[in-house]
Structure 1
Amino acid sequence: MSVIRWGIVGCGNVTEVKSGPGFQQAEGSELVAVMRRNGELAADYARRHGVGKWYDDADALIGDADVDAVYVATPPSTHKAYALAAAKAGKPVYVEKPMALHAGECREMIEACEAAGVPLFVAYYRRALPRFLKVKQLLEMGAIGEIRFVTTVHTKKLTEDPANLPWRVLPELSGGGHFFDLASHTLDLLDFLLGPIRDAAGRAGNQGKAYPAEDVVSGTYVFESGVQGIGIWCFTAYQGGEINEIVGSRGKLTFSTFGSEPIRLTTSDGIGDYSLEQPAHIQQPLIQTIVNELLGRGSCPSTGASALRTAVVMDELVKLRSL
């Protein structure tokens, strides 16, 4: 096999720019089919993106002999079902993040893929972006000395209309609120940069009462290396912003998970900034690592196993709730 032929289950907004074109532009990759429950929207997507086939039934796409691997881009509530269907069909599966509604579902997905002998990948694409590979390089070369602790502060204004709530703040569809949608990226990134978290504890609350999910989460965690961490996520604040700071024995690194401002290295020698452009299709670098692994040319850094660790941490951080 020289080309991986992809099918997308759920060709919604995330696939328009972030991911869909990445399957077409990655080397050794081709997007051959898309599916959406609304057939007219699926056909429109296929026409606009030059995709040969479209479906309004997920099982039909998964069973298509021309589809080698399946990308699940639906809300988390259906990730497990589609991943299990792909595994049963003997096809590698790439699912959006968060991986599922909770860690228990993640484990079921991993077990099903292992039993079927197919790989499972998860769309924590920051693991492959040049911006965060630079942060990892600086840490590994000892730019800030021995790593001591990391802090995260992430705020967002309340903008939801209670009469028309998006699926991202409905726990039955997303697993939680913006914490599950956004903080999962940061927590997975910290796993990538600093290693696995060995234990975590937190509190979740609903201060704004605008939707049923948590809108504030605070937590502490300790990495297997002994590095300690603390985070606060509030989605009903007066303004939005987010920053991560990794502090070491000789300096610190400051950067955002979602922004594009320079990475800042601060030491006693002064301040240095590192600017790296984001790719036009943000998931393409990770997609390339998946294609490379499927073709036997490399490995992908974001797997079901690594995403499960992030799911476990998120579950622990919201275990104590005052909603």
Structure 2
Amino acid sequence: MALEDAFADFTRRDWERESAAGTVRLAVVGIGGFARQRALPAIDAGAYCETTTLVTSSPDRATDVAETYDVDAVVDYDAFLAGDRADAYDAVYVATPNATHGRYAIAAADHGKHVICEKPLETTVDRAREIVDACADAGVTLMTAYRLQTEPTVRRTRELVRERAIGDVVQIHGGFSNPLLETAGPDTWRLDPALAGGGALVDLGIYPLNTVRFLLDREPTGVYATTHSSGGPFAAVDEHVAVQLEFGTDATASCTASFDAHASSRLELVGTDGKVHIESPFGGVVPQEMVVESGDVCMEYTGPSVDEVCEEFDYFGYCVLTGTTPEPDGADGLADLRVIEAAYESAETGCRVGLE
């Protein structure tokens, strides 16, 4: 593969293979910080989804959000579970704390609605499988919200890997850190293992973990992990985590995450004939900066920023409208949770954990 080809029409939506008419009406379940700051604006800016319903614990305090996005239906969680105003939406976006994903995703499926659910899909493999089964039984689309899989830089990197532009991938290094307490108080649900299902690995480490699996198109065969917490607000969860993944090839991957470090993200793939470096891949609005070395050739690409959240919702809407199964489906969400559970087992036992 010529490197010039990799950078040509860089931001193309290769998943947009046919025309799609109309929009998918979304109920946004949970309008916390991410939903207000990122998801709702992205849906509004996109082509294939529109917000028609808000689900919140305090409908009276959501009038400003409803007015901003011209949303007529605002209901509380109990009303949503009962199916009130279900005629106002076609699909739901679940953006509540992790341990509540199943409750709302399964209710949506029971009402015959498609589901896009934040990651991780749930807090355990068994609970996530209930979501997958409910959506399958209802015949509705289920997408785990892995927005990196819809982001151009990552998709172009997967093409480079598939075309062996850097030879056989031998090493992948991915890291994501964020000083959580600078933006959230110590009582945030992300530090409550009962609600979050874990700490830095579940909230941040899942980004490099899922991206590695996506790029290699392989499942890990083994995992070794270590975690560390300094106590205080982080006493109940992993504050820092390092995960080593093995695959059924020569490739290994190192994924790190931290709740208490300078904001940073990085991703690098090293192959037998070259490497790919992506600048700040996990930050939300990816700067579209990457460097590719292939043999004696080195090329750098810098393009306009792409809002991967907008890409994600347009991809979901397109899949629903065209009857296409999304790549980050329920099985993808289950696969990550299997690795996460194995990583926590490894951290507790100090031993490598094999994965079938």
Q: Which runs of 5+ in 1 are unaligned?
A: none
Paired residue total: 321
Which residue of the other structure, out of 192, 208, 216, is the alignment partner of 1:194?
A: 216
CA shift digits 1:111-135 (9 cap, x unpaired): 1111121121111111111121121
Q: Between the two proteins, what is the percent identity of the paired residues?
A: 26
CA shift digits 1:243-265 (9 cap, x unpaired): 22211111111224325452121
Residues 207/271 of structure 1: CA separation in 2 closer, same or farther (3 Å cut): same
User: What's the CA shift for 1:157?
Assistant: 4.8
TM-score (norm. length: structure 1): 0.89
Q: Which residue of structure 2 aligns with residue 6 of structure 1?
A: 26
Q: Which residue of structure 2 aligns with residue 33 of structure 1?
A: 53
| Structure 1 stretch displaced more, 55-64 or 86-95 | 55-64
Residues 191/89 of structure 1: CA separation in 2 closer, same or farther (3 Å cut): same
Which residue of the other structure, out of 170, 195, 200, is the alignment partner of 1:178?
A: 200
Which residue of the other structure, out of 48, 60, 66, is the alignment partner of 1:46?
A: 66
User: What's the CA shift for 1:63?
Assistant: 5.1
Which residue of the other structure, out of 256, 273, 278, is the alignment partner of 2:300?
A: 273
User: What's the CA shift for 1:190?
Assistant: 1.2
Q: Which residue of structure 2 aligns with residue 248 of structure 1?
A: 271
Alpha-carbon contact 1:204-1:319 (below 8 Å) kept: no
Residues 245/126 of structure 1: CA separation in 2 closer, same or farther (3 Å cut): same
1:300 and 2:326 are equivalent in the alignment: yes
One-letter code of the match for 1:249? T
User: What's the CA shift for 1:270?
Assistant: 4.6
Q: Which residue of structure 2 aligns with residue 108 of structure 1?
A: 130
Alpha-carbon contact 2:180-2:259 (below 8 Å) kept: yes
User: What's the CA shift for 1:224?
Assistant: 4.5
Give the distance between the partners of 1:240 and 1:295, measured in 2 at CA. Answer: 37
Alpha-carbon contact 2:269-2:276 (below 8 Å) kept: yes
1:231 and 2:255 are equivalent in the alignment: yes
Alpha-carbon contact 1:8-1:34 (below 8 Å) kept: yes
User: What's the CA shift for 1:76?
Assistant: 0.5
Give the distance between the partners of 2:256 and 2:175, measured in 1 at CA. Answer: 5
Q: Which residue of structure 2 aligns with residue 22 of structure 1?
A: 42
Residues 51/180 of structure 1: CA separation in 2 closer, same or farther (3 Å cut): same
User: What's the CA shift for 1:188?
Assistant: 1.0
| Structure with the larger helix share | 2
Residues 27/298 of structure 1: CA separation in 2 closer, same or farther (3 Å cut): farther
Residues 289/234 of structure 1: CA separation in 2 closer, same or farther (3 Å cut): closer
User: What's the CA shift for 1:68?
Assistant: 1.0
Output aligned runs, 1:127-206, within 5 Å: 127-157=149-179, 159=181, 164-206=186-228
Alpha-carbon contact 1:194-1:223 (below 8 Å) kept: no
Alpha-carbon contact 1:204-1:218 (below 8 Å) kept: yes
